[in-house]
């Protein structure tokens, strides 16, 4: 019902910046919130940042460095990542929470690799 296309990942030196984008398409009317998670191979996926009409939430590890924003009319969420550290290296996944017909749904993007070199 919802497809997510992520872009903006890549290789960057420590201290550099990247801007991730995620565009939702399909049945986007019921989207309540969009955000980003990240996962290192062999570890659990962890929340990076999430945004809704009511709130924004950041992981402690990225507060002050990352900024999440959303353009609802474009069904797009962004993650501006500044002052990147090697420990930010991970696959970053876009996530969407939606509600249709009194049912909740959760969708994931394919992931985009972010690699920060030291």
Give the three-state DSSP class for 65.
coil
Q: Tens digits of per-residue pLDDT, 30-83?
A: 999 999 999 999 999 999 999 999 999 999 999 999 999 999 899 999 999 999
Write down how long the chain is: 118
Q: How many CA atoms lie within 13 A of 55 on its CB side?
A: 4
CA distance from start to end of the chain: 40
- Whether the Cβ atoms of residue 84 and residue 104 lie closer than 8 Å to each other: no
Please identify which residue in the block is written with the tokens 């550099």.
16
What pLDDT sits at residue 1?
81
Evaluate if residue 89 carries a pLDDT over 90. yes
| Element counts in the chain: helices (H) and strands (E) | 0, 11
């Amino acid at each position: 019902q919802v497809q997510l296309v992520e872009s903006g990942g890549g290789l960057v030196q420590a201290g550099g910046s990247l801007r991730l984008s995620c565009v939702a398409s399909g049945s986007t009317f019921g989207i309540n919130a969009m955000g980003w998670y990240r996962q290192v191979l062999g570890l659990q996926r962890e929340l990076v940042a999430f945004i809704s009409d009511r709130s924004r939430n950041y992981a402690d590890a990225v507060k002050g460095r990352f900024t999440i924003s959303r353009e609802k009319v474009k069904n797009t969420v962004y993650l501006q990542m500044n002052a990147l550290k090697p420990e930010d290296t991970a696959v970053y996944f876009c996530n969407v929470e939606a509600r249709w017909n009194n049912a909740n749904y959760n969708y994931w993007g394919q992931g985009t690799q972010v690699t920060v070199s030291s």
